[in-house]
């Protein structure tokens, strides 16, 4: 007897998964894998094969779950069904917060209070076809659908192996997926698996506002987090022209890079969004009347095909233009001040360096041992619970402090996380598969299913291996402080894990907002059928004929 076959059963399963408040970094996120493993372990298949249902620790002890159902007809051909089970915070729910994880209840409450909802949301509530709640679309629906595929696989529906992979921390640093890649390559060897496709089930990316069109994606966008450490000159506020304010330097960098469309790539008609500032702060730890002469700015930068190597030159260009502007503007202000009777000041130059160059100068000037000590001392002074961004900035800052003779300077570095862009848009197998799925969706469900080259959000699919990713590793390792210590990407395992990718997920709206909602008809009716068809197409000829 299947437990997750009907629309009602699937909705119940989803609501059960949503009830676990697995916000990234929370205790519930740590507990979640046990709940999934618990549900799966009740399947007769896993009672018979408990060794194929496993939990694996990531570097920080959070766990990921794998569950393999082998085909009755022996084959190595395997599809990986990927999902993440962490969700984002719920502060934005305000008065509704306590109901955020009770999807059916929250949906009812919204129905009873239409006047408290934005217009477009009210229309959806009244249609009765939407389920609200944190995680319903992003992305516990995907996990529920994948669990139902395992059940169908155990029932003998597919001629290939189905491997479910559910990971934590997708919304923050992808700790789970980065740990999963070596796990999957080891399992392939141990169990004789050949991965034909990694199928993710994140809610589809909606480039058009037309609600009737559905999309699948052949990849996902990449993301880097370039940072600029701005090291000016210290001075008392009463003699500001003796120094250079780091906060001002950071402001000029933001002015230069914010929403700069020259960084936007276009592929197959899909245009990546421009960079935007995520962090801009002083590195002074306390208030004083010394100007904040050290500051940092970090930017979200999205890529479709560019490697880190290709980003460095334009990012240095930003720093150079900001440096020239800082010099010019400072000179102007000095002149104006002098015209009023203030003291004149000589001009200065702002140096622009990459992190690797700064580190090299520091090592040659002070010796590697002293540089290491300085970085370690800075790490110790971090507040408890400091994240990877703070740690990266503190490391660059420590080295810049050693090399203060170079100031004023701007140092370009990369902070975690890094998501390599990935797309199987040039893979004939994936293109053929996408066409078959579109035809099937039209015939069977009257549904228009279009293909996009990239999903517009960062997905864990980024860590499925690709040439571009490998090409980025050298530059990234060189210019990312604490690389290999606090943060790393399993590029070696990714090299061995070059598998075509696709995202085929539910239709939802307002991810990461309090109005996050899932279209029920599609999620529990059409989507599971199309995903099952997708598996059947991938497994065609899986028994040696091909």
How many Cβ atoms are within 10 Å of 482's Cβ, its own excluded?
18
Closest contact distance (angstroms) between CB of 272 and Zn ion is 18
Q: In the complex with Zn ion, which residue's Cβ is closer, 138 or 397?
A: 138
Q: Is 380 exposed, middle or buried (0-12, 13-18, 19+ CB in 10 A)?
A: exposed
Cβ proximity to Zn ion: between 139 and 326 the closer is: 139
The CA R_g of the chain, rounded to the nearest whole Å, is: 26
- 139 versus 391: smaller Cβ distance to Zn ion: 139
Of 129, 99, 88, 137, nearest to 517 (Cα)?
A: 137
Measured from the Cβ of residue 385, the count of other Cβ atoms closer than 10 Å reads: 7
166 binds Zn ion (CB under 5 A): no
Q: Judged by CB under 5 A, which stretch of 139-147, 277-285, 337-345, 529-537 contacts Zn ion?
A: 139-147
Q: Which helix (H) or strand (E) holds 429?
A: helix 428-445
CA distance 492 to 450: 34
Q: What are the backbone dihedrals phi and psi of residue 443, each rounded to the nearest 5 degrees, phi first?
A: -65, -50
Min dist. Cβ of residue 172 to Zn ion (A): 11
Minimum distance, C-beta of residue 219 to Zn ion, in the bound complex (Å): 15
Of residues 99 and 205, the one with the C-beta less far from Zn ion: 205
Least distance to Zn ion from the beta carbon of 464, Å?
A: 16
Give CA–CA dist 87/89, Å, rounded: 7
The dihedral through the CA atoms of 474, 168, 4, 145 has a sign that is negative
Other CB atoms within a 10 A radius of the CB of residue 115 amount to 5
As measured in angstroms, the least distance from the Cβ of 222 to Zn ion is 16
DSSP state of 402: H
Residue 208's φ and ψ, nearest 5 degrees, are -105, 155
Binding part of the chain for Zn ion, among 30-38, 40-48, 131-139, 225-233 by CB under 5 A, reads 131-139
Site string for Zn ion, 501-540 (x = CB under 5 A): ----------------------------------------
Q: Closer CB to Zn ion, residue 82 or residue 542?
A: 82
* Residue number, 69 or 139, with CB nearest to Zn ion: 139
Q: Which is nearer to Zn ion, 139 or 145 (CB)?
A: 139
Distance CA 22, CA 138 (A): 12
Scanning 123-131, 136-144, 328-336, 427-435 for contacts with Zn ion by CB under 5 A, the matching segment is: 136-144
User: Which of the stretches 88-96, 116-124, 138-146, 336-344 binds Zn ion when contact is defined by CB under 5 A?
Assistant: 138-146
Q: Tokens for 357? A: 């160059």
Q: Which stretch binds Zn ion (CB under 5 A): 137-145, 156-164, 252-260, 377-385?
A: 137-145
The angle that helices 467-479 and 355-366 make with each other, rounded to 10 degrees, is 40
Give the shortest CB-459-to-Zn ion separation in angstroms: 7
Q: Is 388 in the site for Zn ion (CB under 5 A)?
A: no
SS3 assignment, position 130? strand
Query: Which of 75-83, 98-106, 134-142, 308-316 is the region at the interface with Zn ion (rule: CB under 5 A)?
Result: 134-142
Is 127 exposed, middle or buried, given 0-12, 13-18 or 19+ CB atoms closer than 10 A?
A: exposed
Number of residues in contact with Zn ion, rule: CB under 5 A? 2
- Under the criterion CB under 5 A, does residue 139 sit at the interface with Zn ion? yes
Spatial contact of 247 and 480, defined as CB atoms under 8 Å apart: no
If the CB atoms of residues 58 and 139 are measured against Zn ion, the closer one turns out to be 139
Smaller CB separation from Zn ion, 14 or 409: 14
Scanning residues 145 to 164, which ones bind Zn ion (CB under 5 A)?
A: none
Nearer to Zn ion, 138 or 159 (CB): 138
Binding flag, residue 169, Zn ion (CB under 5 A): no
Contact string (CB under 5 A) for Zn ion, positions 210-249, x = contact: ----------------------------------------
Instruction: Find the shortest distance in angstroms from Cβ 200 to Zn ion.
Output: 9
Residue that is written with structure tokens 């970094």 in the block = 25
Ramachandran angles phi, psi of 242, nearest 5°: -75, -15
CA 60 – CA 79 distance, rounded (Å): 27
**Nearest residue relative to Zn ion (C-beta):** 138
Q: Which is nearer to Zn ion, 32 or 45 (CB)?
A: 32
Determine what percent of the chain falls in helix, strand and coil, rounding each to the nearest 5: 45, 20, 30
Tokens linked to 98: 């306590």
Pick the stretch among 113-121, 130-138, 140-148, 347-355 that binds Zn ion (CB under 5 A): 130-138
Q: Which is nearer to Zn ion, 140 or 425 (CB)?
A: 140
Gap between the Cα atoms of 468 and 470, Å rounded: 5
Outline where DSSP puts E strands in 157-201.
161-167, 194-200
Q: Does 138 bind Zn ion (CB under 5 A)?
A: yes
Residue 83: its H or E element: strand 77-84
Contact residues: Zn ion, CB under 5 A: 138-139
């Amino acid at each position: 007897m299947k437990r997750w076959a009907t629309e009602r059963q699937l909705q119940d399963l989803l609501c059960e998964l949503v009830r676990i408040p697995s916000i990234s970094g929370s205790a519930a996120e740590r507990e979640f894998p046990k709940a999934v493993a618990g549900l799966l372990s009740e399947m007769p298949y896993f009672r018979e094969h408990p060794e194929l249902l496993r939990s694996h620790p990531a570097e920080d002890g959070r766990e990921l779950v794998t569950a393999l159902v082998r085909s009755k007809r022996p084959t190595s051909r395997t599809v990986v069904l990927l999902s993440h089970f962490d969700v984002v915070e719920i502060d934005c729910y305000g008065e509704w917060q306590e109901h955020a994880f009770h999807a059916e209840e929250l949906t009812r409450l919204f129905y009873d209070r239409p006047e408290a909802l934005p217009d477009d949301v009210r229309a959806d509530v009244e249609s009765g076809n939407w389920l609200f709640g944190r995680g319903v679309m992003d992305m516990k629906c995907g996990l529920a659908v994948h669990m139902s595929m395992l059940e169908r696989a155990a029932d003998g529906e597919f001629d290939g192996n189905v491997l479910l992979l559910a990971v934590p921390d997708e919304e923050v640093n992808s700790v789970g997926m980065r740990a999963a890649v070596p796990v999957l390559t080891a399992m392939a060897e141990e169990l004789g698996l050949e991965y034909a496709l990694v199928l993710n089930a994140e809610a589809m990316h909606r480039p058009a506002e037309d609600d009737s069109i559905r999309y699948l994606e052949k990849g996902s966008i990449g993301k880097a987090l370039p940072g600029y450490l701005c090291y000016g000159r210290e001075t008392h506020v009463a003699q500001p022209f003796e120094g250079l304010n780091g906060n001002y330097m950071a402001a000029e960098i933001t002015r230069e890079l914010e929403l700069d469309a020259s960084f936007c790539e276009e592929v197959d008609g899909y245009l990546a969004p421009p960079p935007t500032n995520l962090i801009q702060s002083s590195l002074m730890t306390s208030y004083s009347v010394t100007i904040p002469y050290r500051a940092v700015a970090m930017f979200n930068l999205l890529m479709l095909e560019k490697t880190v190597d290709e980003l460095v030159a334009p990012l240095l260009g930003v720093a150079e233009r900001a440096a020239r502007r800082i010099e010019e503007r400072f000179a102007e202000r000095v002149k104006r001040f002098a015209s009023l009777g203030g003291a004149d000041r000589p001009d200065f130059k702002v140096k622009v360096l990459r992190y690797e160059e700064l580190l090299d100068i520091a090592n040659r000037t002070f010796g590697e041992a002293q540089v290491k000590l300085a970085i370690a001392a800075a790490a110790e002074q971090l507040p408890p619970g400091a994240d990877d961004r703070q740690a990266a900035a503190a490391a660059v800052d420590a080295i810049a402090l050693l090399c203060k003779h170079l100031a004023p300077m701007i140092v370009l570095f990369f902070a975690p996380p890094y998501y390599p862009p990935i797309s199987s848009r040039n893979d004939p197998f994936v293109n053929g598969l996408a066409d078959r799925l579109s035809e099937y969706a039209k015939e069977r469900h009257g549904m228009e299913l279009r293909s996009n080259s990239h999903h517009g959000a960062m997905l864990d699919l980024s860590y499925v291996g690709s040439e571009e990713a490998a090409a980025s590793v050298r530059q990234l390792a060189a210019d990312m402080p604490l690389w290999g210590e606090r943060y790393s990407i399993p590029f070696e395992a990714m090299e061995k894990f070059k598998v075509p990718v696709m995202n085929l997920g539910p239709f939802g709206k307002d991810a990461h907002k309090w109005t996050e909602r899932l279209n029920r008809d599609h999620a529990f009716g059409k989507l599971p059928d199309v995903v099952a068809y997708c598996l059947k197409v991938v497994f065609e000829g899986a028994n040696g004929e091909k």
